[in-house]
Structure 1
Amino acid sequence: MSTRWCWLPPITADGATQMKIDQQLFQAHCTGEQPPTLRFYTWHPVALSLGYHQKHYPHHWSELSWQGRKLDIVRRPTGGRAVLHQGDLTYMVVMSGERKQRQEIYREICEFLRLGWAKLGISLNYGQTGRGYIHNPSCFGTATAADLVTPEGYKLIGSAQLRRGSCVLQHGSMRLSPDALLFEQVFGASEGVGDYPIPYGVEEVITVLREAAQEWFRGDWFTQELS
């Protein structure tokens, strides 16, 4: 019997709302009320999201603004380091299965991203950084084995997880059109932003990645509107 997968159409909302939706979908999945689910979304206004265990961050982050509005600072339910959500696209997957190692789950989910971006002509591989990443405040300052980088070493996608038993929430940020100056104001370095332009818009990327997910995860897919 094929697995029933849910697709949620993309929405734009503030960071606190997006994180609440992710958490509620995860909790509903853990209790059997929500099937495996995929969604994409963008953040408005621009925000910084902190990893669940990231207790400290630079004071000047609270004073930063973008286009006349202060940057929101939101805590994610997942781990990892800070992510600047400007010019990016976020994906989210909740699913469950065998109690595999964390890295196995990362790869099992990230393969649909690799497949989709390959269809867009961009080859992605897993990062190599060890545990030293924890000393870098920026998620995109290093590339761990959970992240996806181009052959040139540019980190295009950073991902993070929350697990409860065999249930997994994984979401991540894809840098499509980030502003190098804002990125440098936040993290003190541009981390290559602007050096690897992505020639695709958000809608085109979503369409290709959704098709890749249906191909990779298979199953019986249906659309569910957020209420």
Structure 2
Amino acid sequence: MRLLVVEDEPTLAEQLGEALAEAGYAVDVSGDGEDAAYRGATEPYDAIVLDLGLPRLDGLSVLRRWRTELIDVPVLVLTARGEWHEKVDGMDAGADDYLAKPFRMEELLARLRALIRRASGSASAVLERGGVTLDTRTARVSVADRPVRLTGHEYRVLSYLMHHAGEIVSRSELIDHIYAQDFDRDSNTIEVFIRRLRSKLGGEVIVTERGFGYRFAVHEAVAGNNGEGDD
């Protein structure tokens, strides 16, 4: 899963980026409204954290621009504590949720998980598909109650496929959602991650739809080994 953090305060932006990366997300960071508006309109994010007080273009204007352009990515707005009118304005502009500053990072992570789940039609923080369990709260994966150790990239591939279980996901779509914008992307590595996941989770869990991409199956999986791979 790939996120955009829009925050002009450098220390907070760095803290958010680090916390979200540690939680298993690919993260892009933007420090001004014009840049954020462009990124949100041209890059396929799974969710966006948006501060309202931004240089060049304020957060509400950014959000309104996205919604006018029919960009329906989930947006979590950051507001100043006690500024209730900012919350109202943000929700009216198309925000999906809001969080007042200062906040606890655990709450922000929980709210983002909920937004991403709702966008994919999942109600629970624990995804159970095809005999595989993925706990989005802890980034832990298991097969038949046996823990499976994954690298960061393997986890992001699996998380995206499980959030879209039953759907065909192209290689280019996976690349867009598991790498940050400035990462040196190599489409061939997707096949490597898929092969490792099949080895660890069971060969029938991820199906190759030739000429189209990959699909996470929903039938029972055959447990694989739980060895480690390289990131």
Q: Same fold (TM over 0.5)?
A: no
Between structures 1 and 2, the one with greater strand share: 1
Greater relative contact order (Cα < 8 A, sep 6+): 1
* TM-score of the aligned structures, taking structure 1 as reference length: 0.29
* TM-score of the aligned structures, taking structure 2 as reference length: 0.28
Between structures 1 and 2, the one with greater helix share: 2
